[in-house]
Amino acid sequence: MMLALLTALALAATSSVDLDGDGKNETIEVSEDTLRVGNARVDCGGYTACEVTPTDVKSSDNKKELLVCEHGPRDDQYCRLYRYDGRMLKELPFEGEEHGQSKIIINGSGIVRTSQWAHRLYTRVDKWTLDGDKLVRTPQPMYGANETFRVAATFQLKLEPNAKSKTIANTKPDSDIVLLAEHGTHEGWFLVMLSSNITGWVHQSTLAESSEQYQLMLGAG
């Protein structure tokens, strides 16, 4: 219901919404590459016109946010959240992230979920909690991947996400492996499963060297 409402509220040119909770609607103007609220302005847009959608990260705080999405030359999408304080449009940042999120899912509880295409391998889902004027990531032990890849060359699987860790198995050339998850703190290390159901860790760089399928995906980017 909430997502359908947000889609219906997507702004095409001019609209009005009470953003700062003072009981008065602000006029929101959207052109091809600019968002304006009063005298406040945010440059947006990319290869297509920017998309602006009123949303509500936390319904109990009487404030509403603007979801602003830009599109790149391919299917890239970068979305950010902005708040209006009566004078300025301020970004509601995702702590530790410099770039926008590909997809932002909001349900009004103060919890935000984002999804992004990570390493050109899988869709990574993060959970964030509103803390004042920022969104804080919820730590995860692993990020579920569930993607199958064919490997052209053999490589070692490690007991731990560490190049110096004990080798527990070797992949077979021209065989399929399943990417189960990416480690939550050791970025680029994937837990994979062989056709024998043996599991182990491999780094993304090793996978890129050993899988023609993955090389093609990287080249397409």
SS3 of 85-100: the string is: CCCCEEECCECCCCCC
Given phi > 0 = left and psi -120 to 50 = alpha, else beta, which region is 121?
alpha
CB 133 within 8 A of CB 84: no
Residues in the chain predicted with pLDDT less than 50, given as ranges, are 1-11
Please give the Cα distance from 209 to 153 (Å, whole number): 8
CB 90 within 8 A of CB 67: no
Instruction: Return the structure tokens found at 47.
Output: 């290869």
Question: Domain map of the chain by residue range?
Answer: 2-137, 142-220
203 phi and psi, to 5 degrees?
-85, 150
Q: What is the pLDDT of residue 186?
A: 97
pTM: 0.84
Q: What is the pLDDT of residue 97?
A: 87
CB atoms under 10 Å from CB of 7, counted, come to 9
CATH class given for the domain over 142-220? mainly beta
Q: Which helix (H) or strand (E) holds 143?
A: strand 142-151
Q: What is the pLDDT of residue 220?
A: 66
Give the list of residues 6+ apart from residue 195 with CB closer than 8 angstroms, or none: 175, 176, 177
